[in-house]
């Protein structure tokens, strides 16, 4: 498939991000490879839905929808998938902006018919203007960004990261949509991993599927001041453990934790060594980074244990949505 039509889905939930939402949409509308359409999916917020509908009523390539499923990011994405007309569906966070060639790099990868998903590179924009000295790059996934340990270039991966990703429409025909009950729900506990679960499920449904990350497909993601603190770091790491337990329950621990084992046994120990070396050389933040890595691992492991026990007792549930098809705007 050459020059695929690409629909871009942006899920939104709060008026607090109004300026960010407008910036995200503007970054899509100025792509060097034009999007077929931009779909804004509003998560159970009637005021925001009405405001966005009025904002874009004269803009034909921007369509606004209410989340047709339960509250949360997964159902919002599924609503966007069902409404999209493109052969490829890309997802952009509501507090991120895409570089001009973002969609061009996505589109190029789909020339290979085996490619079912393509992700990109997400760069943090720290509210304070700079990375906190204690914050390890190995844990940038905590703030929704590409983390140290992901291979560079155009590489094959187990899963893409949901805030900067695209899928061939036929991927959802084969595997279904995003699972509800795993991912984020507004400002509640910051769960995740719904894209990991989907990608593993896709690879099982289509063993020939190729999933890629192209680090030239860049977006810039805002990190609010509240997420620059260790309290959020710890909360997000714990939530990741809970989410990984659900993923392992869905697809098995062998695939569900395959990439995590390499990350935990190679990437993180190397990060601790770098931090301790920097501390020995009196470089700022070295000891803090080493300590944060250790704390993050232990906290995520604790979340995984708790999540596994809950799943065994039937206290945590999720479901995979079937995508019904396109909706009329």
Average confidence score pLDDT of the chain: 90
Please provide the DSSP assignment of 4-28 as one string.
Answer: --EEEEEEE--GGGHHHHHHHHHHH
The candidate with the shortest Cα–Cα distance to 250, out of 183, 170, 165, 317, is 317
What is the C-alpha separation between 202 and 160, in angstroms, rounded?
12
In this predicted structure, the answer to whether residue 328 has a pLDDT above a threshold of 50 is: no
For 125-176, how does the pLDDT look when each residue is reduced to its tens digit (9 = 90+)?
Answer: 999 999 999 999 999 999 999 999 998 999 999 999 889 999 999 999 999 9
pTM of this prediction? Answer: 0.91
For 168-198, how does the pLDDT look when each residue is reduced to its tens digit (9 = 90+)?
Answer: 999 999 999 998 866 454 445 556 678 988 9
The candidate with the shortest Cα–Cα distance to 304, out of 248, 231, 233, 230, is 248
Q: What angle do CA 22, 70, 316 make, to 5 degrees?
A: 120
Find all residues with CB under 8 Å of 310, minimum gap 6, and list them: 242, 245, 316
pLDDT at 192: 67
Lowest average pLDDT, out of 71-85, 94-108, 248-262, 270-284, goes to: 248-262
In this predicted structure, the answer to whether residue 85 has a pLDDT above a threshold of 70 is: yes
Confidence of residue 327 (pLDDT cuts 50, 70, 90): very low
pLDDT at 256: 47
């Amino acid at each position: 498939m050459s020059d695929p039509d690409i629909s871009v889905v942006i899920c939104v939930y709060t008026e607090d991000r109004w300026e960010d939402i407008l910036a995200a949409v503007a970054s899509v509308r100025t792509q060097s490879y034009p999007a077929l359409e931009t779909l804004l999916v509003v998560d159970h917020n009637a005021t925001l839905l009405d405001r966005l509908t009025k904002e874009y009523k004269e803009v034909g390539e921007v369509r606004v929808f209410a989340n047709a499923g339960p509250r949360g990011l997964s159902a919002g994405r599924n609503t966007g998938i069902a409404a999209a007309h493109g052969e490829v569906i890309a997802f952009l966070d509501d507090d991120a902006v895409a570089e001009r060639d973002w969609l061009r790099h996505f589109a190029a990868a789909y020339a290979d018919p085996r490619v079912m998903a393509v992700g990109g590179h997400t760069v943090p924009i720290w509210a304070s203007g700079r990375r906190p000295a204690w914050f390890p790059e190995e844990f940038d996934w905590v703030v929704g960004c590409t983390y140290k340990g992901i291979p560079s270039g155009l590489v094959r991966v187990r899963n893409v990261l949901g805030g900067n990703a695209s899928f061939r429409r036929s991927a959802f025909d084969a595997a279904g949509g995003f699972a509800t009950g795993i991912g984020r729900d507004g400002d509640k506990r910051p769960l995740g991993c719904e894209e990991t679960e989907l990608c593993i499920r896709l690879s099982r449904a289509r063993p020939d599927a190729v999933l890629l990350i192209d680090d030239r497909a860049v977006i810039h993601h805002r990190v609010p001041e509240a997420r620059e603190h260790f309290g959020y770091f710890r909360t997000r790491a714990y939530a990741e453990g809970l989410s990984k337990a659900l993923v392992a329950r869905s697809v098995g621990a062998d695939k569900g934790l395959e990439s995590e084992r390499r990350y935990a046994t190679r990437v993180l120990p190397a990060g601790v060594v770098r931090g301790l070396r920097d501390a020995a050389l009196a470089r700022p933040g070295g000891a803090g980074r080493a300590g944060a890595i250790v704390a993050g691992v232990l906290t995520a492991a604790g979340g995984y244990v708790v999540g596994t026990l809950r799943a065994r007792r039937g206290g945590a549930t999720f479901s995979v949505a079937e995508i019904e098809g396109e909706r009329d705007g």
